Amino acid sequence: MQLIERQLQTAINNIVEWSNKSGFTISAQKTIGIHFCKRPLHPDPELFLSGVPIRFQDNYKFLGIVFDKRLTFLPHIASLRKRCLRLLNILITLSNTSWGADRSCLLRVYRSVIRSMIDYGSVVYDSARPSYLKRLDYVHHQALRLCLGAFRTSPIPSLYAEAFEPSLSSRRDKLSLSYYFRILSNHNQPLRGTLLNGNNNRLFNARPSCIPHFGLRMRNILPDTFHDVKIHTNDFCGHPPWMENSSSYINPFGNFTKSDSNNSVLISLFNQHRQFYQSYQPVFTDGSKSLNDVGCAFFTNGHIVSYKLHSLTSVFSSEITAVYFALKYIDVHDIRKSILYTDSMSLLESLRSSSTRNPLIKEVRLL
């Protein structure tokens, strides 16, 4: 404890010195300390901020999450359950059988008002005991019964199927995996090295009663299909947005719809378009997805170049990947005048939009 006190006091003194030089003032009266330890009885360290002793507490609310000294998150879950049960009165009022809202409106209210509170910080308090986390399931199930008008005896899996809602545990896994991959996609993220470090895996595997850390929990819930996925690193500051190339496209069928137009008219429009750009070499791209396979390809000058993609790749990603390889082909073969064709309107709109964050779109723009 004495060694910890000396190291923490040195760090606090450095922070106070930096804040004084920078013009900031840290209030000692508003500063709270928590000694995280599993032991029931232990002495709190004596730390000082500008000569004023720092107060230590067992619980403290920081950024909306209640941290306790043993990191059980039981006070946070109890407080969250109490607030959500109070908000259920909104659904009780709106679900009146004579003048209340319909199912879709009630589910929209639940997702925006109650479920958003449960989702907030779920990546952090997901390390709590399963028995503690189950206390939030009652709120979830009660809200779904109110939204669907189901009986109290309705099976819980039926509620999930009718409302198109996953269980809270599945939703926490989804949000945690999203955060996990977002960390690994950023080279400058400080937690990236910690998540990839597997030195403590044997320690947690030998002690099943101990709750593993975030990185090990994510690796345990990842299915086998994710183990061979290569995470694309996103360089957020590599290319400023004001230097990106503006993308535009030509749509000769903009005033026509496929369902209301004759095929001969569309073919005539395309032939007229090709006649106007006959000096340009055409490159046709496409991406497709079946039940177990995903692929993309492009066709130009009588040659077909195809690629097999990961089975979890979306149709949109396969379309943009085909465009990416086609542009690489044009660049490598130094084709001066070329025109690229695709049947994905969402891809074209994403290339033209300046607010997209898809890394594949950024790679295409850099070409």
Is residue 170 within 8 Å of residue 122, measured between CB atoms?
A: no
**Position 367 confidence tier, pLDDT thresholds 50, 70, 90:** confident
* pLDDT tens digits for range 51-107: 888 898 889 999 999 999 888 999 999 999 999 999 999 999 998 878 878 899 999
Interval 300-310 mean pLDDT: 90
Q: Measured at the alpha carbon of residue 134, what is the angle toward residues 131 and 136, in degrees to the nearest 5?
A: 140
Between residues 31 and 235, the one the model is more confident about: 31
| Domains assigned to the chain | 1-57 (no CATH), 74-226 (no CATH), 241-366 (3.30.420)
pLDDT exceeding 90 applies to what percent of the chain? 39
Interatomic CA distance for residues 281 and 299, integer angstroms: 11
- The packing angle between helices 214-221 and 168-184, to 10°, is 110
Nearest C-alpha neighbor of 283 from the set 337, 230, 357, 239: 337
For residue 243, the model assigns a pLDDT of 63
Q: Residue 318: pLDDT above 60?
A: yes
For residue 356, the model assigns a pLDDT of 74
Interatomic CA distance for residues 95 and 99, integer angstroms: 8
For residue 351, the model assigns a pLDDT of 83
Question: How confident is the prediction for the chain on average, in pLDDT?
Answer: 86
* pLDDT tens digits for range 223-274: 755 666 677 776 655 566 666 656 778 888 877 777 777 888 888 888 888 8
Is residue 122 within 8 Å of residue 140, measured between CB atoms?
A: no
Both structure tokens of 253: 């069928």
Nearest C-alpha neighbor of 33 from the set 15, 59, 11: 59
Both structure tokens of 280: 């340009």
Is residue 103 within 8 Å of residue 148, measured between CB atoms?
A: yes
pTM for the whole thing? 0.74
Distances (CA, A) of 9 to 35, 36, 49, 93: 14, 17, 8, 54
For residue 11, the model assigns a pLDDT of 92
Interatomic CA distance for residues 156 and 167, integer angstroms: 9
Interval 300-308 mean pLDDT: 91
For residue 265, the model assigns a pLDDT of 85
Between residues 39 and 128, the one the model is more confident about: 128
Is residue 295 within 8 Å of residue 321, measured between CB atoms?
A: no
* pLDDT tens digits for range 142-201: 999 999 988 988 999 999 999 999 999 999 999 998 888 888 888 888 888 777 776 777
Q: Residue 39: pLDDT above 80?
A: no
Q: Residue 113: pLDDT above 90?
A: yes
For residue 245, the model assigns a pLDDT of 59
Q: Residue 35: pLDDT above 80?
A: yes
For residue 305, the model assigns a pLDDT of 92
Interval 7-11 mean pLDDT: 91
* Residue/partner pairs of 90-96 with CB below 8 Å, 24 or more apart: 91/143, 91/146, 91/147, 92/146, 95/146, 95/147, 95/149
